[in-house]
Amino acid sequence: MFFVVAIALSIGCMGESVCAEEDIFTPEEREYVESLGVLKVGYVGDRIPISFKEEATGELGGVSRAIFDRIQEISGLKFEYQELPSGSVTYDYLAEQKFDLITSVEYNKQNLKANGILLSEPYLSSKKVIVGHKGVTLDSGENLKIAVATGSQTLKKVLKEQYPSFEIVDYDSIGKCFEAVNEGQADFLIQNQYVVEYRMYKPQYENLTILPTLGLDDMLCFSAVLPLDSVGTPIFKEKEMLIGIINKAADQISDDEIANYIIRATTENQYHDTPADFFYRYRYTVMVLLAAVLIVLILIYVAVRAHIHTLRAQADAETRTQFLSMMSHEIRTPLNGLLGLNYLITRNIDNEKKVRDYLQQSSDVANYLLILINDILDMSKLQKKQMQLVNKAFAVKGTLKMIDSVSGSRMREKGIHFVVKKEVPYPRLVGDETRIEQVLLNVLDNAYKFTPSGGQVTMEISQEKQKERRICTKVSISDTGPGISEEFQKKIFDSFTQERSTVSKGNQGTGLGMAISRNLARLMGGDLVVQSKPGQGSTFIFTFVTDYVAEGEEDPETEPAVLPQTTEGRPLHVLVAEDNELNAEIVMDLLETAGLSATLASNGQDAVEMFAASKPGAFDCILMDLMMPVLNGYEAARAIRSMDREDAATIRIIACSANAFEEDRQKAKDSGMDDFVAKPIDVDKLMEKLQG
């Protein structure tokens, strides 16, 4: 036969009373007590404050222990205690483990009739209570679930009689019953009021409440485990005397003593927040503090990383601290050229030839400035040797004109005599003109800073043919400045370095120019070296290797531009999506000046609606800005591609944005766009992409 040990929770304390002077036990009972050894008592360990396992000693604690200690004092019985496993406990388990007694067993008719156990008189009486979410009542509806700790068959019977529509769900422990109700897996739980009151202090259960009771008593007693004979019949005689002795001893414990045990157990075992409870109770405050700490740690990490990176990257302590403010100097030289050319244009507005020439030079300088900014912002590309050269045909005379526009004008303004000597048998080369110009401007800017007024800067250009169509071009740039010390020559090509002199004072750069220039020179198959002695000026020798354009081949400066057209021979009709009024005006004028037809949409949503309202084929291409209100360019492109019309999947969509990093290009491609044009717009490149 099997029986389930009933689990009931209550709050109690140990108390003391004085044994009656008169012996209440018979000689036979005294002899029986002396014949017994230590009795093994089983208890359920999660019934604070009725029965539980004390953390400090590992022993049974609570009201049950206080009563056992008092019975031991009165009767002379000796007990040892062992915690029972959670869930149902079978008779076979109790017999196999040789338990003599079980504590905190429900005293009810069913257990009185159970085979294999013998109950004592109740030693503690309380009530059963129901726990549920606030605002939920027992008549909230049918098919409600009620959680019951495994073991109380009598309780289940009463529940089925009073609430036949309820579903009773067994859980191994009171803790799991509470979790089930708190998490919505069950609607209610029923348990001893002392245990419920203890657990309700847990902050996680702040949304639970004790509902009106069923009027159901919860009486607890001790149970003796009876041995069975050969046919399975319990042998009562052996344990009847033991239960009788326990009942006699328990009768000597007054109601006042029991009340004291409960008070003491309640006082000594008040609920204390665990770390998890603390974090739950103050979870919002903790989250705010953790977020603040995280932000501070991230800022500290970023600051430390930036500081370490700066310390490693920079050679001069003063220059390191001024890095960001001095970064602008790298772009000041070409910007000065643009401002100067703009001034010359306004002064010669009636001279069409000069204005055209100035405008062409302004375009060259602006293109160089854009590349230079990108290089400064992406220095790691050079340092990691990830820079890709763009090799195209160019004319040396065009490069020299650009150099004179930027550097020559500055030197003449400062009073420096700028001399160019060239012996160029191969005037048209195939290489990265922008990178070559970048190196030359960096070296010339260095000469400008260190050469005093009245001095001279000389640039000599020569070429030497190598095998096949390879040409090595050598550019020597000499100045009459103060020269460079031998010590500084060893680190002049390191990042963030610059030698101080009275000539250069007030004209400091970032210290990136020489490092960038040498990296670029070596990337182009050449080098950049310096020859100098203090007081005798300096000479920088820049070499680079390129192919050349043979005589009779098409001059790269005279390549005709191709006007984008449809297959029918008419100019393209472009839908322009651009929210910035100035940018929109510029793009529309560029397209219309090139002879194209253009329609403007002021945001992504307008572009989608205008395309949807047009006839198929009305637009040949869409030029799509990425950062727009209502719908951005990515969203607009996806909306167009998803339309159910014949040209939605085939019309060319070209992204046009100042967000020109690789991730922006990939994001545009992923959204359904065909190509990408970076701002500021290169008109020739735009025309090429429009033509497809």
Residues 554 and 591 in one domain: no
Instruction: Report if residue 564 sits inside a domain.
Output: no
Query: What is the C-alpha to C-alpha distance for residues 328 and 334, in angstroms, rounded to an integer?
Result: 11
Q: Are residues 517 and 641 in the same domain?
A: no
3-state secondary structure of 349: coil
Q: Count the domains in the chain.
A: 4
Choose the final residue of a domain: 513, 529, 558. Answer: 558
Of 558, 588, 604, which residue sits at a domain end? Answer: 558
- 588 vs 328, which has greater pLDDT? 588
| Residue 282 pLDDT exceeds 70 | no
Give me the domain span that covers residue 628. 573-691
Grade residue 593 by pLDDT with cuts at 50, 70 and 90.
Answer: confident
What is the C-alpha separation between 228 and 201, in angstroms, rounded?
44
Q: How far apart are CA 474 and CA 462, in angstroms?
A: 5
Nearest to 444 by CA among 526, 374, 540, 371: 540
Residue 567 confidence (pLDDT) above 60? no
- Count of beta carbons in the 10 Å neighbourhood of residue 638: 15
Q: Which of 240, 268, 296 is the last residue of a domain?
A: 268
Of 263 and 208, more confident: 208
Rounded CA gap, 124 and 64, in Å?
Answer: 9
Is 533 in the same domain as 660? no
Q: Tens digit of pLDDT for each residue in 468-511?
A: 789 999 999 999 999 888 888 887 877 655 555 444 444 444 45
Q: Are residues 91 and 222 in the same domain?
A: yes
Within a domain: 218? yes
Same structural domain, 474 and 526: yes
Which CATH number characterizes residue 234's domain? 3.40.190.290
Domain CATH number, residue 677: 3.40.50.2300
Residues whose CB falls within 8 Å of the CB of residue 562, separated by 6 or more in sequence, listed in order: 687, 688, 691
Tell me how long the chain is.
Answer: 692
Region 70-89: mean pLDDT is: 87
Q: Are residues 424 and 472 in the same domain?
A: yes
Structural domain contains residue 202: yes
Among 146, 131, 150, which residue's Cα sits nearest to residue 204?
131
Residues 516 and 603 placed together within one structural domain of the fold: no
Q: Is residue 357 part of a domain?
A: no
Question: Same structural domain for residues 113 and 188?
Answer: yes
- Are residues 305 and 387 both part of a single domain? no
Domain membership flag for residue 619: yes
214 and 244 fall within a common domain: yes
Amino acid residing at 513:
G
Domain of residue 489, CATH code: 3.30.565.10
Tell me: pLDDT of 627 over 70. yes
pTM summary value: 0.38
How far apart CA 638 and CA 641 sit, in angstroms, is 5
Residues 288 and 260 in one domain: no
Residue 352 lies in a domain: no
Q: What is the CA radius of gyration of the chain?
A: 47
pLDDT at residue 288 in the model? 60
Q: Are residues 75 and 113 in the same domain?
A: yes
Instruction: Output helix, strand, coil percentages for the chain, rounded to the nearest 5.
Output: 40, 20, 35
pLDDT of 490 reads 81
- Cβ(336)–Cβ(343) below 8 Å: no
pLDDT over threshold 50, residue 150? yes
Residue 318, domain member (yes or no): no
Q: Give 387's pLDDT tier (boundaries 50, 70, 90).
A: low
Domain membership of residue 288 (yes or no) is: yes
The pLDDT of 246-258, averaged and rounded, is 88
